[in-house]
Amino acid sequence: MRIPFPVTMIGMTKNRGRSLMRTLWLCAVLAIAFLPGERAAGQALNSVERQIVTAVESRAEEAIDLLERSVNINSGSMNFEGVREVGRLYREELDALGFETEWVDGTDFERAGHLVARMRGGAAPHLLLIGHLDTVFEPSSPFQRFVRDGDRASGPGVVDMKGGNAVIIQAMKALDAAGVLDGLTLTIVMTGDEERSGRPLELARAVLYESAAAADIALAFENGDSNPATAVVARRGSTGWRVNVTGTPAHSSQLFQPEVGAGAVYEAARILTGFYDALAGEPNLTFNPGVILGGTDVAYEPFDAGGSAFGKSNVVAEHAVITGDLRAISIPQLEGARAKMAFVTRQNRPRTSAEIIFDDGYPPLAPSEGNYRLLTLFDQASRDLGYGAVTAVNPRNAGAADVSFTAGLVEMALDGLGPGGGNDHTVDEWIDLPTLAQQTKRAAVLIYRLTRQVS
Instruction: With a cut of 90, say whether residue 28 has pLDDT above it.
Output: no
Q: How confident is the model at residue 352 (pLDDT cuts 50, 70, 90)?
A: very high
Q: What is the pLDDT of residue 260?
A: 98
- Whole-number Å distance between alpha carbons of 271 and 341: 8
**Region 219-232: what's the mean pLDDT?**
94
Instruction: With a cut of 90, say whether residue 29 has pLDDT above it.
Output: no
Q: How confident is the model at residue 123 (pLDDT cuts 50, 70, 90)?
A: confident
Are 25 and 454 spatial neighbours (Cβ–Cβ below 8 Å)?
A: yes
Instruction: With a cut of 80, say whether residue 18 has pLDDT above it.
Output: no
Instruction: With a cut of 50, say whether residue 455 has pLDDT above it.
Output: no
Give the residue range(s) of CATH 3.40.630.10 domains in the chain. 7-235+365-451
Q: How confident is the model at residue 55 (pLDDT cuts 50, 70, 90)?
A: very high
Instruction: With a cut of 60, say whether residue 8 has pLDDT above it.
Output: no
**Region 380-397: what's the mean pLDDT?**
95
Instruction: With a cut of 70, say whether residue 30 has pLDDT above it.
Output: no
- The neighbour count for residue 105, using CB atoms within 10 Å, is 13
Give the residue range(s) of CATH 3.30.70.360 domains in the chain. 238-362
Q: How confident is the model at residue 398 (pLDDT cuts 50, 70, 90)?
A: confident
pLDDT tens string 57-83: 999 999 999 999 999 999 999 999 999
Q: What is the pLDDT of residue 304?
A: 83
Helices 331-346, 264-279: crossing angle, 10 deg rounding: 140
Strands of 225-383, DSSP E: 230-231, 238-246, 286-295, 297-301, 306-310, 319-327, 353-362
CATH of domain 7-235+365-451: 3.40.630.10
Query: Beta strand 126-132 with 185-191: parallel, antiparallel or unpaired?
Result: parallel
Q: What is the pLDDT of residue 114?
A: 98
**Region 209-236: what's the mean pLDDT?**
96
- What is the DSSP-derived secondary structure letter of residue 416? -
> Rg (Cα) of the chain, in Å, rounded?
24
The model carries a pTM of 0.87
Q: What is the pLDDT of residue 5?
A: 36
Q: What is the pLDDT of residue 122?
A: 87
**Residues present in the chain in total:** 455
Instruction: With a cut of 80, say whether residue 15 has pLDDT above it.
Output: no
Q: What is the pLDDT of residue 43?
A: 57
Q: Which CATH number fits domain 238-362: 3.30.750.200, 3.20.20.70, 3.30.70.360, 3.20.20.80?
A: 3.30.70.360
Closest Cα partner for 145 from 437, 448, 429?
429
Q: Which residues contact 9 (CB under 8 A, 6 or more apart)?
A: none
With a pLDDT cut of 90, the percent of the chain lying above it is 85
